[in-house]
Amino acid sequence: MKLEELPDEGAYTPGDNACAGCMAANIALNVMRILGKNTIVSVPPSCMSVFGGTFPNINWDVPYFHMQFSNTASTITGISRALKAQGKEDIVVLGMAGDGGSADMGLQTLSGAAHRNENILYICYNNQAYENTGIQASSVSPYGAWSTTTPVTGDFAGNEYMPKDLPRILIAHDAKFVATASTSHIQDFINKVEKAKNMKGFRYIEVLSVCTPGWRTESHLGPQLAKEAVESGYWLLIEFENGELNLNYEPKFTGLEDFLMKQGRFKHISAEQIEEMKKHIKRRYQTYKNLMMNNENNCK
């Protein structure tokens, strides 16, 4: 589907309670323009459950479940298996969870579902912190970033840990479909969601999701920050399908400082910390490049 063909209306109604400039709301809106009404969705505790899923103001125009924080993948596994038992295998069973609910709290159920190749579509909107509960760091929060649990005062200014690479963990499961996307590269985003819609088995897409209050930025900067994240290599666009890994966009490795300086969470960051971050970016890129070398050796 081309961007111009994206329907104006989908199965998520606009006008939710999200903060101004919330890219998670944008992701929900666009995902449901692509998936449409033949979908069942589950959302765990997160911003998304609050801004789009509180009765009676639910934005999801499809059956909607809210469950326990760590249970996204097991909840949708249960739904998917129940539908299979009823012979209804054409329905997309979707989980939409945050990074805390995916990389930390929900990792066990996510890993189990990937391992068993459950017939589910799991989308993680990664805003890089536990935003809904007041901006606590998660295991995918960026190095050096301020959060309420990684303050600038103390032994280390901001987050002292490098972010966990969740897509690579799922690739290590040899999962059916693993991809990353960005709200800036919208055609790539559409291609991946549409592909996942039309596939069976375990599908995981992780989308970078700019958060105005959490990133301490301005509400109009979401699309630009998303773009700069991709250009600078801070956020890679990858796709792993049936054992073959591809990089969908070659980063320019420029503009990292500009990207960081638009965000108050990095206001304090030192030149040394930026250098560490750049090294990490290059190392992660090289790791993916190395993994791509396996493509040629694949037994198809």
Residues contacting residue 6 through CB under 8 Å, at least 6 positions apart: 30, 33, 34, 190
Least distance from Mg ion to the Cβ atom of residue 165, Å: 16
Residue 36 tokens, joined: 């449409």
Beta carbon nearer to ligand TPP, 47 or 207: 47
Under rule CB under 6 A, which residues in 47-66 are in contact with ligand TPP? 47-48
Beta carbon nearer to Mg ion, 10 or 106: 106
Question: For residues 210, 129, 229 and 272, what is the CA-based torsion angle, rounded to 10 degrees?
Answer: 140
CA count, 13 A, side-chain hemisphere, 287: 14
> Does residue 49 interact with Mg ion by CB under 5 A?
no
Beta carbon nearer to ligand TPP, 22 or 34: 22
Beta carbon nearer to ligand TPP, 117 or 149: 149
Quick note: the x/- pattern for ligand TPP over 61-100, rule CB under 6 A, is --------x---------------------------xxxx
Residue 107 has phi, psi (to 5 degrees) of: -65, -35
- Give the range of 49-57, 68-76, 89-97, 129-137 binding Mg ion by CB under 5 A: 129-137
3-state secondary structure of 16: coil
Residues contacting residue 211 through CB under 8 Å, at least 6 positions apart: 19, 22, 23, 24, 47, 127, 128, 129, 131
- Is residue 65 within a helix (H) or strand (E), and if so which, with residue range? strand 64-66
Under rule CB under 5 A, which residues in 94-123 are in contact with Mg ion? 98-99
- Measured at the alpha carbon of residue 80, what is the angle toward residues 299 and 133, in degrees to the nearest 5? 100
Beta carbon nearer to ligand TPP, 69 or 253: 69
Number of residues forming the site for ligand TPP (CB under 6 A): 17
Residue nearest to ligand TPP (CB): 98
- Give the range of 130-138, 216-224, 227-235, 252-260 binding Mg ion by CB under 5 A: 130-138
- Measured at the alpha carbon of residue 44, what is the angle toward residues 85 and 124, in degrees to the nearest 5? 90
Least distance from ligand TPP to the Cβ atom of residue 138, Å: 6
Residue 95 tokens, joined: 């989980």
Residue 145 tokens, joined: 């970033």
Residues of this chain that bind Mg ion (CB under 5 A)? 98-99, 127, 131
Residues of this chain that bind ligand TPP (CB under 6 A)? 45-48, 69, 97-101, 127, 129-133, 138
